[in-house]
Amino acid sequence: MKIPDHNVDVTSLLKLNTNDAQEFFCGVGSALINVTVTYPVNKIIFRQILENISAAGAIRQLSKEGPRLLYRGMLPPLCQKTISLSLMFSIYEGCKERLYFLTNDRATASLCAAFFAGTVEAAFMPLERVQTLLQDWRYHNKFKNTPQAFSLLLRQYGLAECYRGLVPIIFRNGLSNIFFFSLRNQAMQYIDKENSMLANFMTGAVIGGITSTVFYPMNVIKIHMQSKIGGDFEKFTKCCKEVYISRDRKIGSFYKGVQLNFVRSFISWGVINASYYALKQLC
């Protein structure tokens, strides 16, 4: 988006425009492509985190369950990722332009827009919450599918249960957005001027892989919180302590599955970034 002239009327600047819509639909398209490709790898990582087992052990578990259950729980991340990426790109780009108009500071506008986009995404975390329950083998008999899981959670536990684990998600989304967009903005100054798909893929892949690795412990805490249903909501610090103690007091235990997660994120964010820019050129 072009940075607006500071003589532009503030009211007209705050209105939604075609650029906002373009960013939104590019995010939708890139999310649909990404989730379809990377979901099986994500499920292996989830089992590693939940069961504290190796990648080979997680693959053996899924093999025993059979191909029918391999894509079980994909609808929530498909919906969640579609919504979150469309909001991530559209809110970031839209807020960055508008905040620069107000602050006249590019760096501050970019950082604030990135964090705000991440916190808005957290509003849709019930989809991520249900995905966690559907992927957990202990709830295979309790929850049949996404609509039934939502219905049971709301009926028996209330809306608040859908937001269990909100704090680590806000930390993860907000800070990782700042990390991702800051590095991507720097990288875009050095990649080839032709804006090739390969260059966009590698830019997104490397930055996404690094970002996901840095904030990986937030996923461990989030899954630990969300694998429970009912009862008191654990505080973030208490949950961190519980995981640390239960896993032999080793910091490395917070990174169980991080290798495969890096591979998944490398592919995932490469696909997202490349498809985002490809779709943007078509719009």
Quickly state the pLDDT bin for 2 (edges 50, 70, 90). very low
Mean pLDDT of 258-280: 89
Structural domain contains residue 12: no
DSSP per-residue codes, 37-69:
HHHHHHHHHHHHHHHT--HHHHHHHHHHH-GGG
Residue 11 included in any domain: no
Helix or strand holding residue 96 (H, E): helix 75-103
Total of domains in the chain: 1
What is the per-residue pLDDT for 178? Answer: 95
- The domain of 44 spans 19-282
d(CA 65, CA 38): 19
Q: Please calculate the CA angle 71-72-75 and round it to the nearest 5 degrees.
A: 85
Residue 218 lies in a domain: yes
Residue 22 tokens read as 């373009």
- Asked if residue 8 belongs to a domain, the reply is no
pLDDT at 250 over 50: yes
Q: Check if the beta carbon of residue 70 is closer than 8 Å to that of residue 96.
A: no
**Inside any domain, residue 5:** no
Which backbone phi and psi does 74 adopt, to 5 degrees?
A: -75, -25
Residue 168 lies in a domain: yes
**Rounded to whole angstroms, how far apart are CA atoms 28 and 276?**
9
- Greatest mean pLDDT range, 27-41, 73-87, 123-137, 174-188: 174-188
Whether the predicted pLDDT of 93 surpasses 90: no
Phi, psi values for residue 231, rounded to 5°: 85, -175
Strand spans (E) along 128-249: none
Q: Which of 170, 75, 162 is nearest to 122 (CA)?
A: 170
Percent of the chain at pLDDT above 70?
92
Domain of residue 129, CATH code: 1.50.40.10
Most confident of the ranges 23-32, 136-145, 170-179: 170-179
**Which pair of tokens denotes residue 132?**
């966690």
Taking the C-alpha atoms of residue 163 and residue 218, their distance in angstroms, rounded to an integer, is 15
How many Cβ atoms from other residues are within 10 Å of residue 213's Cβ? 16
* 70 domain residue, yes or no: yes
The tokens describing 196, both together, are 């090739």
Q: What are the pLDDT digits (tens) for 180-203?
A: 999 998 888 777 655 688 889 999
Q: Which of 17, 149, 7 is nearest to 73 (CA)?
A: 149
Q: Is residue 25 part of a domain?
A: yes
Q: What is the structure's pLDDT at 236?
A: 92
The dihedral formed by the CA atoms of 22, 87, 111 and 105, expressed in degrees to the nearest 10: 40
Q: CB–CB of 129/164 below 8 Å? A: yes
Query: Rounded to 10 degrees, what is the CA torsion of 267, 256, 62, 34?
Result: -20
* Per-residue pLDDT tens over the stretch 115-149: 999 888 888 889 889 888 888 888 888 888 888 99
User: Rounded to whole angstroms, how far apart are CA atoms 177 and 96?
Assistant: 13
Checking if the pLDDT of 76 tops 70, the result is: yes
Indicate whether 170 pLDDT > 60. Answer: yes
pTM recorded for the entire structure = 0.75
Q: Residue 123: what residue type?
A: A
